[in-house]
């Protein structure tokens, strides 16, 4: 992608606007419609949620450090696993991606802002309230939701406490926020591209987000429907999921996973886009197979609607259905394999250097693939009877979510921090963060495979004595990983307070794309006049 842009021009515009349109203090953040401000707020919010959800994980790991009950009682333990899952999925990973989309999509396609800036402000500001409502349920009688992030009926209907109402309400708000964000992304990409930026010239991060946004539009309303049914089953006498009233609890699982499986791709497709930007930059070669990347992303998104019941093999499906979902799931490995192949081919014979964004991306490629392999194991119906609901599943989804989604978000943050803040991040601290994270995350999650295969169930506060050693190792890894993230906090704060070497407009020699044609830090307004692509 060759790009020419009149730097002076956009810098000049930015200078004017700096003084004209930027309110100060709290008002700036409350009323901002600027995509960069909103992006930053999303990113800080998601990091805060990451720390909150992480603390809950550490509470879980502290209890599991030894067999027997030591620190927290089983009911509180269940609240911890539930809220940890909900917060990490809806509070940490998804908002982080929306924050990146806000910052980068307009700059990558040469647009002055998101298409719907006022809605953008709303979609961010309702989120903190959603999580305040969710977290306040800890203070209700019976405590916070304890039915797992999957809120299976009848756990969430017959056997739940009244915090379910708060859970449902806050899920509605989160859903609205995601839907608004998705609409904004789609409209921006369809209508705001700079002249000459046709679809097949868009950076892959834009492409993957475009497809993700359609997934959000398709499944968030279904989630809203399911939580509504849970609410009416619990409080208004309906029987969607209650067999006694003619409903079917298994229907809950079908509806939930119809949302749930596309949801896991919502959390990984933008990662694919990030890694597809970073690897070419540090391998100093164009991305191998750009078009095949786009088609692979689209086919993964399409297939994600046909695999939901791989989460439900043990509910007793007819053989034909089991086989169908098993083979469809394995089919997804094909486009995913294409992607991994393309990343590796991009690096092949490249002039590689190993700056921190590249290190996180490399770790992503390897560790995400490990998560993909355990996923294929779980897709095999007969063996899933053994793996289902064990720590093997916990290991699997943390490899794809933590070393997949979260590592790619870290990579993105390091890659674009110079652009956002105008200073280079602290290189030493960033490398320290990477190596500490890489080592501890494997101490944390790899041994979970083994206890899982040996039969340790998930969502359990106590375990058989023979699992003690491995759980101790896992817990130590957990605390190391958790505290390593504070190094990232230090790096981010240093950048936010402009402590560091000033960053040039394009700090990475091999980087491509319009975002590097504007100065660092990116001026408050960029591309008021569309660049020529």
Partner 1 sequence: MSEHESNEQKHERGNSRVITRLLASVMLMFAFGFALVPLYEKFCEITGFNGRTTNTASQTNEGMNVDETRVVTVEFHTRVSRGIPWEFHPEVRSIRVHPGEVKTVNFIIENRTDKAVIAQALPSVSPGEASLYLNKTECFCFEQQPLAAGERAVMPMQFYLDPDLPDRIHRFTLSYMMYDLTEQGQATANLSE
Residue 149 binds which of Cu ion, partner 1, ligand HEM, none (CB < 5-8 A, kind-dependent): ligand HEM
What is the separation of C-alpha 124 from the centre of its chain, rounded to a whole number of angstroms? 16
With contacts defined by CB under 5 A, name the span among 254-262, 279-287, 374-382, 457-465 that binds Cu ion: 254-262
Question: Least distance in Å: CB of 263 to ligand HEM?
Answer: 10
Element (H, E) at 402: none
* Angle separating helix axes 290-303 and 269-283, nearest 10 degrees: 160
Give how far Cα 460 sits from Cα of 327, 383, 455, 484, Å.
31, 21, 12, 26
Which entry of ligand HEM, partner 1, Cu ion, none binds 405, CB below 5 to 8 A by partner kind? ligand HEM
Comparing CB distances to Cu ion, the nearer of 180 and 400 is 400
Known active-site residue 336:
yes
In this chain, which of 41, 401, 487, 522 binds ligand HEM, going by CB under 6 A? 401
Position with the least CB separation from Cu ion: 261
Quick check: 185 and 266 in contact, CB under 8 A? Answer: no
Instruction: Establish whether 463 is a catalytic residue.
Output: no
Tell me if residue 310 is catalytic.
yes
- Active-site residue (options: 12, 149, 248, 459): 149
- Annotation says 433 is catalytic: no
Quote the least distance from Cβ 332 to Cu ion, whole Å.
9
Residue 118: partners with Cβ closer than 8 Å, 6 or more residues away? 33
Q: Which residue in 201, 388, 458, 459 is the catalytic one?
A: 458
Q: Does residue number 269 form part of the binding site for ligand HEM (CB under 6 A)?
A: no
Dist CA 82 CA 343 (whole Å): 35
For residue 95, give the nearest of 38, 144, 137, 56 by alpha carbon: 38
Of 125-133, 230-238, 401-409, 493-501, the segment contacting ligand HEM by CB under 6 A is: 401-409
Active site residue 292: no
Burial 289-312, CB ≥16 within 10 A → b, else e: bbeebbebbbbbbebbeebbbbbb
Q: Using the rule CB under 5 A, which residue among 193, 261, 449, 506 binds Cu ion?
A: 261
Identify the sign of the CA torsion 452, 455, 458, 460: negative
Cα–chain center distance at 110: 25
For tokens 């679809």, name the residue.
199
Residue 50 CB, nearest distance to ligand HEM (Å)?
7
Main-chain dihedrals φ then ψ at residue 308, nearest 5 degrees: -55, -35
State both tokens at 234: 């619990």
Task: Please identify which of the residues 163, 177, 212, 297 carries the catalytic annotation.
Answer: 177
Residues that bind partner 1 (CB under 8 A): 115-116, 179, 182-183, 186-187, 190-192, 217-222, 224-226, 229, 240, 243-245, 248, 250-251, 254-255, 258, 316-318, 321
- Is residue 193 left, alpha or beta, with left meaning phi > 0 and alpha meaning psi from -120 to 50? beta
Smallest gap from residue 381 Cβ to Cu ion (A): 14
Query: Quick one: 111 or 153, whose CB is closer to ligand HEM?
Result: 153
293, 448, 454, 456, 471 from 62: Cα distances, Å: 42, 15, 21, 17, 10
The whole-angstrom separation of Cα 498 and Cα 519 is: 15
Catalytic residue among 35, 61, 84, 419: 84
Catalytic site includes residue 508: no
Q: How far, in Å, CA of 106 to CA of 524, rounded?
A: 12
Contacted by 72, from ligand HEM, Cu ion, partner 1, none: CB < 5 to 8 Å by type: none
For residues 105 to 124, the per-residue mask of contacts with ligand HEM, x marking binding by CB under 6 A and - elsewhere, is --------------------
- 137 catalytic? Reply is no
170's CB contacts (< 8 A; 6+ apart) are 130, 131, 133, 134
Token pair in block for residue 145: 């939701």
Task: Give me 276's structure tokens.
Answer: 């597809």
Site string for ligand HEM, 15-54 (x = CB under 6 A): ---------------------------------------x
- Give me the residue whose beta carbon is nearest to ligand HEM: 85
By CB under 6 A, what part of segment 402-431 binds ligand HEM? 402, 405-406
The reply to whether 103 belongs to the active site is no
**In the annotation, is 149 catalytic?**
yes
- Two structure tokens written together for 493: 């704060």
Where does this chain bind Cu ion (CB under 5 A)?
A: 261
Supply the residues annotated as catalytic: 84, 113, 149, 177-178, 261, 263, 265, 276, 310-311, 336, 339, 458
């Amino acid at each position: 992608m060759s790009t020419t842009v009149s730097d002076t021009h956009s810098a000049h515009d930015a200078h004017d606007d700096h003084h004209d349109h930027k309110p100060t203090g709290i008002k700036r953040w409350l009323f901002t419609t600027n995509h960069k401000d909103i992006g930053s707020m999303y990113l800080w919010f998601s990091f805060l949620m990451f720390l909150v959800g992480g603390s809950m994980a550490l509470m879980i790991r502290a209890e599991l450090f030894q067999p027997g009950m030591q620190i927290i009682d089983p009911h509180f333990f269940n609240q911890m696993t539930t809220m940890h899952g909900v917060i990490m999925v809806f509070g940490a990973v998804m908002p982080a991606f929306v924050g990146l989309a806000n910052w980068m999509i307009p700059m990558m396609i040469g647009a002055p802002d998101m298409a719907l800036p006022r809605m953008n402000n709303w979609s961010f500001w309702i989120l903190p309230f959603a999580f305040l409502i969710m977290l306040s349920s800890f203070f209700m009688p019976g405590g916070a939701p304890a039915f797992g992030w999957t809120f299976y009926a009848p756990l969430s209907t017959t056997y739940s406490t009244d915090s379910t109402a708060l859970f449902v309400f806050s899920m509605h708000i989160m859903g609205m926020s995601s839907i608004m964000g998705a609409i904004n992304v789609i409209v921006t990409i369809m209508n705001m591209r700079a002249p000459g930026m046709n679809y097949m010239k868009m950076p892959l991060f834009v492409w993957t987000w475009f497809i993700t946004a359609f997934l959000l539009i398709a499944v968030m309303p279904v989630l809203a429907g399911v939580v509504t049914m849970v609410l009416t089953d619990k409080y208004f006498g309906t029987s969607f999921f209650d067999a006694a009233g003619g409903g079917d609890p298994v229907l809950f699982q079908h509806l939930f996973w119809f949302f749930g499986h596309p949801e896991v791709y919502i959390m990984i497709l933008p990662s694919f886009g990030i890694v597809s930007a970073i690897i070419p930059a540090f391998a100093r070669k164009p991305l191998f197979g750009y078009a095949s990347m786009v088609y692979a992303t689209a086919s993964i998104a399409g297939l994600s609607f046909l695999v939901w019941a791989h989460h439900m093999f043990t509910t007793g499906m007819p053989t034909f259905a089991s086989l169908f979902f098993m083979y469809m799931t394995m089919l997804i490995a094909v486009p995913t394999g294409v992607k991994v192949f393309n990343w590796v081919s991009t690096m092949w014979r490249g002039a590689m250097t190993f700056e921190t964004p590249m290190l996180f991306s490399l770790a992503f490629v390897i560790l995400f693939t490990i998560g993909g392999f355990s996923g294929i194991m779980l897709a095999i119906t007969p063996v899933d009877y053994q793996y289902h609901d064990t720590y093997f599943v916990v290991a699997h989804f943390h490899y794809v979510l933590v070393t997949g989604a979260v590592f790619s978000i870290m990579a993105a943050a390091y890659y674009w921090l110079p652009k956002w803040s105008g200073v280079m991040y602290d290189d030493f601290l960033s490398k320290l963060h990477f190596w500490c994270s890489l080592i501890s995350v494997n101490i944390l999650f790899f041994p979970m495979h083994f206890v899982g295969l040996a039969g340790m169930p998930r969502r359990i506060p106590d375990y058989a004595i023979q699992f003690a050693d491995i759980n101790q190792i896992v817990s130590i890894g957990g605390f190391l990983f958790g505290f390593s993230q504070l190094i990232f906090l230090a790096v981010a704060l240093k950048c936010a307070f402009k402590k560091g070497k000033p960053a040039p407009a394009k700090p990475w020699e091999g980087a491509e794309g319009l975002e590097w044609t504007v100065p660092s830090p990116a001026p408050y307004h960029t591309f008021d006049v569309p660049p020529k692509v």
